[in-house]
């Protein structure tokens, strides 16, 4: 398959990147980062997850944050929900777009959402239905698509079953998430070839973590398989609060640089993103996993 001429980087730093930080990031600083990230050329920004604040304290301000977002018609701000309550909170906050997410791993699903895989499938369909009925644009993701530290290898049939459910539910696009960073280049290629064969008629993207140092390699493989949108996070922030040792996402600035080096347009000024990363690194008082922000 031909490499796309242009890809979309979906910034998930304000949600996936911030959620693990023990030092609470003030809402004003979150808004500053979101505004600056949008100004860098990012058109899709995941701003918060609507989850239990007792489990993820960093997201306790999600509703207030959304109400204070800047008016930027060219940028899609969206949230993440793991259950119907989260979808309803997102809608009440004023968001027009929501990502609904379930895990292909039974063990991870029980830890992350309190649901078995079978129950998560039903909840995923329910979430998509509620969001669509509310007039929201609905996207979806399947967590642990490339493996799970609790279960090991995940059956491809589970991932495809979730994808078929979301396709039938009418979501706009689907993201395959390497939540625990277990994906390898051959595994990513096999999965994408399988999805191509399945003819789901649904755009498929990648959410890659760099736990084992293969994040950008897997992104390059995805690109060569025709993937045209990738979740990224400024500075390579992120992980999973319920997966021990999970590293961050592929860094937005590093991914934008990689795509440019491969002749692929992103519309993102990686140096502007790197500036955001330096600001956040200074606030947190530590280095972040990304590479290029130290050089720009």
* Ranges in the chain, pLDDT < 50: none
**Annotated catalytic residue 144:** no
pLDDT score of 208: 98
Q: What pTM, to 2 d.p., does this model score? A: 0.96
pLDDT score of 281: 98
pLDDT score of 246: 66
For domain 8-294, the CATH architecture is Alpha-Beta Barrel (3.20)
Domain boundaries along the sequence of the chain: 8-294
pLDDT score of 242: 62
pLDDT score of 113: 86
Task: Measure the N-to-C terminal CA separation of the chain; round to a whole number of Å.
Answer: 33
Bridge partners (DSSP) of residue 207 are 177, 231
pLDDT score of 152: 92
pLDDT score of 112: 84
pLDDT score of 199: 87
Helix axes 156-169, 185-198, angle to 10 degrees: 40
List the catalytic residue out of 144, 148, 225, 240.
240
- pLDDT tens per residue across span 277-289: 999 999 999 999 9
Using CA atoms, how far residue 101 sits from 122, 176, 179, 204, in Å, is: 12, 10, 12, 14
- pLDDT tens per residue across span 24-62: 999 999 999 999 999 999 999 999 999 999 989 999 999
The alpha helices in the chain, defined as continuous H runs, are 27-39, 62-67, 84-93, 106-113, 117-133, 156-169, 185-198, 215-224, 252-261, 270-284
Backbone φ and ψ for 172, nearest 5 degrees, come out as -80, -30
């Amino acid at each position: 398959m031909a490499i796309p001429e242009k890809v979309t980087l979906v910034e998930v730093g304000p949600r996936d990147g911030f959620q693990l930080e023990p030092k609470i990031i003030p809402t004003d600083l979150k808004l500053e980062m979101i505004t600056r990230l949008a100004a860098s050329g990012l058109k899709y920004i995941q701003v918060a997850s609507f989850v239990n604040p007792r489990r993820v304290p960093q997201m306790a301000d999600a509703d207030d944050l959304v109400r204070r977002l800047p008016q930027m018609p060219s940028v899609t701000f969206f949230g993440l929900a793991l259950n119907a309550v989260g979808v309803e909170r997102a809608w009440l906050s004023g968001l027009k777009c929501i990502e609904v997410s379930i895990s292909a791993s039974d063990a991870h699903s029980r830890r992350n959402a309190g649901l078995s895989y079978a129950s998560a499938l039903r909840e995923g369909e329910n979430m998509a239905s509620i969001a669509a009925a509310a007039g929201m644009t609905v996207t979806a993701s399947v967590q642990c698509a490339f493996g799970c530290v609790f279960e090991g290898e995940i059956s491809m049939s589970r991932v495809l079953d979730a994808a078929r459910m979301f396709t039938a539910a009418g979501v706009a696009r689907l993201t395959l998430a390497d939540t625990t960073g277990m994906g390898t280049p051959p595994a990513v290629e096999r999965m994408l070839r399988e999805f191509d064969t399945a003819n789901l008629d649904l755009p498929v993207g990648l959410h890659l973590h760099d736990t084992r140092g293969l994040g950008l390699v897997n992104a390059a493989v995805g690109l060569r398989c025709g993937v045209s949108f990738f979740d990224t996070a400024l500075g390579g922030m992120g992980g999973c609060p319920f997966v021990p040792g999970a590293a961050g996402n592929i860094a937005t600035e590093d991914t934008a640089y990689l795509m440019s080096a491969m002749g692929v347009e992103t519309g993102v000024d990686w140096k502007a993103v790197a500036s955001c990363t330096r600001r956040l690194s200074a606030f947190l008082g530590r280095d972040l996993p990304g590479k290029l922000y130290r050089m720009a």
